Amino acid sequence: DAGVIQSPRHEVTEMGQEVTLRCKPISGHNSLFWYRQTMMRGLELLIYFNNNVPIDDSGMPEDRFSAKMPNASFSTLKIQPSEPRDSAVYFCASSWSARGSWETQYFGPGTRLLVL
Partner 1 sequence: GNSVTQMEGPVTLSEEAFLTINCTYTATGYPSLFWYVQYPGEGLQLLLKATKADDKGSNKGFEATYRKETTSFHLEKGSVQVSDSAVYFCALSGPHTGGFKTIFGAGTRLFVKA
Binding residues for partner 1 (CB under 8 A): 4, 31, 33, 42-43, 45, 48, 50, 55-56, 91, 93, 95, 97, 99-100, 102, 104-110
∠ CA 114-21-9, nearest 5°, is 60
Residues contacting residue 74 through CB under 8 Å, at least 6 positions apart: 22, 23, 24
- Nearest-approach distance from CB 68 to partner 1, in angstroms: 18
Cβ proximity to partner 1: between 3 and 16 the closer is 3
Pick between residue 52 and residue 81 the one whose CB is nearest to partner 1: 52
Pairing of strands 31-38, 53-56: unpaired
